Chain A
Amino acid sequence: MSIRREEIEDALFDLVQASTEFADENIFFSDQDGISPQPSPYATISIGDLNRVGIDASTRDFDGARTAGSEIVRTTMGMRELVCAFSFFTPKTVGATTAWSIAAKLEAELQLSSVRDGLNAVGLGVANVGSVRWVPKLNNTEFEGRAMLEVRFNVPQGASDAIGYIETVNVTPVIDGVTLPIITIPE
C-alpha cells in the first residue's frame, strides 16, 4: 500500500471543511502560486514532512501460478509520520468566531471516532495533536486573527517488486587453459 497524496489531500480538505463549515473557496492548500484568494476568514492546509518510523518490514510471497519471473514478490511495508499544519485566518481577534476558536474546535473534534473514520479510510491515523497556537498577525496595518494547529498522522507506506530468480546456469569447463573434469550430478 503506497501513499496516495491526492486521497490524503481530499481527506484533510473534508476534515477542515466539516469542522469550519467554510465554503470551498475559503480552504486551500498552502504554497501555491498566486495572490491570496479571499479576505479572511479562510483556512490553509500544509502537508509537510514525511518521517520514517522505526524500520520497514520486508516479506516475500511466492505464487507459482503467476507468470514466469514474477512468482516471487518482495514487499516492504512500514509506518510513516506525516506532519500537517492547519492555519486559520479570521478578521476578528476576539469573540466566538476567532481563528483561535476554530482551531480549538478542530483540535477537539480530532478525538471523535466519526472524524477519525474519514481519515482512517485513506490510511491516516491520528498520532499526535499539537497545541493550538495563537499567532495573530498584521495585515497591512490591521490585526488579523491567526491560529495554527499541527497534527501528526501515522500513515502506512509500502512498495513491492517481483525479484525474479535463477532459471539456468551455463558452466564453462575450461579455466586458465585447463579442462576441468565434468561431474554429473545425479538427479
Chain B
Amino acid sequence: MAAPQPLWIFDLAGAPKADAVPGFVAGFGYVGKDGSVRAQPIGGIVNLGGGQYSFQPSDADEAAGTCAVIDCGVGTSPRYQYIDISTKANQFALYVPLDAGGNLGAGAPTVGSYLELGSGAARPPPSVDRAGAFELYTITPTSQDAAIGVGLRLDSASGNTPRTVNASFSGGPVSPSDVSSGGAIDDLCDAVEMLESGTYTVKRRDPAGYVRGRRVPSLETIFDVDASVQPASGLEVQRLPEGKRNRETMVVFSCVELKTAQRGLQEPDILIIDGALFEVESVKRWAALGNYYRAVVTRTPGS
C-alpha cells in the first residue's frame, strides 16, 4: 500500500495551524508526471490535529509518479506546498515556480548542480521536464544516479522564489545491467568522449505557444554538448519519413540526452553542426545500459 503523505501547515507567524482547510490546486493539483490529470485521493486531505495533515495516494499514483500541489489557504506560510509521490524505483523531484509573493508563478528552473553524494563528482544533469502544459517541472534521475545517490540544486527563474531548491536521490534499486562483472557501474561516457568530434550548441525549445490561434515562437534554452557526430548510414536515412530522406542526416552520440518532438510538451532540439541547423528526429536512450544517448538528426531546409 502506498505511503500516506504527511503535510505540516503553519500560520504567518510560523506556528502550527490546526484550522487550515487545504485543498489540491484547481486544474493541476493532482496530476501525473506527464501532465495527465489523476483522480484525487479518496477522503481528500485529512486534518490530524496540531497543524498536521495527511492524504492517502493510491498505489497507482505512486507507481505512475504523481505531482500534488496543495493550496493551504489564506493566512498560511508557505501557502502553496508540493509533494512528489513516487517509489525508490521511480523517484523524481517536483518543482513548482512561485513568484516573489509566494503565489503560483511561471518559469522553468535550471539545474544548478548535480553531484554524487559520496564523492562530490559532477554527474551529467538530467533534463527538466514539464508536466504537460502546466507550470510543474520534474527532474528524474537515471537509475544509475538513483543507485549511486546524487544531490540536486535547482535554480529558480529570475523573479521566482526561493532562489534555489535542493533535492537528493538515493536508494534506487540496482539492476543487474547497472553493474558489470567487475562490480563497477557501466559508463560509456568515457568512450563517447574519446570519440567526440567536438562541442556543439543545442537549442532546446519549449512547445510553441498559441495566442488567439496564432503560433508564437517558444522560449529557447541554449547549452553546449560534447558529442561524437557521424554520418548516418543508408539504413538510417531509409527509416526517416519520406519527405526527409533527401536531407543530410547524422548520428550523434552524447552523454547528455537530446530530445525529439513530444506532442504538447517539447519541440525537437536543434543541434548546430558546422554552422548548419540539424533537428533531432529520434533518440535511443542508453542511459541505464551505458549512460549515453544516440540521436539521429536531419538538416533543416534552408540552413
Interface residues of A (CB under 8 A from B): 9-10, 13, 24-25, 27-29, 32-39, 45
* Chain B binding surface SS class: loop
Taking a contact as CB atoms under 8 Å apart, the answer to whether B261 and A35 are in contact is yes
Q: Could you show 21 A-B contacts with beta carbons less than 8 Å apart?
A: A9-B213, A10-B212, A13-B212, A25-B133, A25-B209, A25-B210, A27-B210, A28-B210, A29-B213, A29-B214, A32-B214, A33-B215, A34-B207, A34-B267, A35-B208, A35-B263, A35-B264, A36-B264, A37-B208, A37-B210, A39-B264
Q: How far is the CB of A73 from chain B (nearest CB, A)?
A: 34
List the A residue with the shortest CB-CB distance to B263: A36
1/0 per residue, CB under 8 A from A, across B253-268: the answer is 0000000011110111
Inter-chain contacts of A33 with B (CB < 8 A): 215
Residue of A nearest to B209 (CB): A25
Please measure, in the bound complex, the distance between the C-alpha atom of A45 and the C-alpha atom of B214, giving whole angstroms: 11
Q: When the two chains form the complex, which single residue of A9, A38, A39 contacts B214, counting CB atoms closer than 8 Å?
A: A9
Known A-B contacts: A24-B210, A38-B264. Give 17 more (CB < 8 A). A9-B213, A13-B212, A25-B210, A27-B213, A28-B210, A28-B214, A29-B213, A34-B207, A34-B267, A35-B264, A35-B268, A36-B263, A36-B264, A37-B207, A38-B133, A39-B132, A39-B263
Q: How many residues of B contact A (CB 8 A)?
A: 18
Contact with A along B102-136 (1 / 0, CB 8 A): 00000000000000000000000000000011000
Cβ-based interface call for B211 (8 A): yes
CA distance A1 to B52 in the complex (A): 67
CB distance from A162 to the nearest CB of B (A): 35
Residues of B within 8 A of A (CB): 132-133, 207-215, 261-264, 266-268
Q: Are A32 and B264 in contact (CB under 8 A)?
A: no
Most chain A C-beta atoms within 10 Å of own C-beta, residue among B133, B207, B213, B266 = B213
In the assembled complex, the CB of B122 is this many whole angstroms from the nearest CB of chain A, namely 32
How far apart are A38's CB and chain B's nearest CB, in angstroms? 5
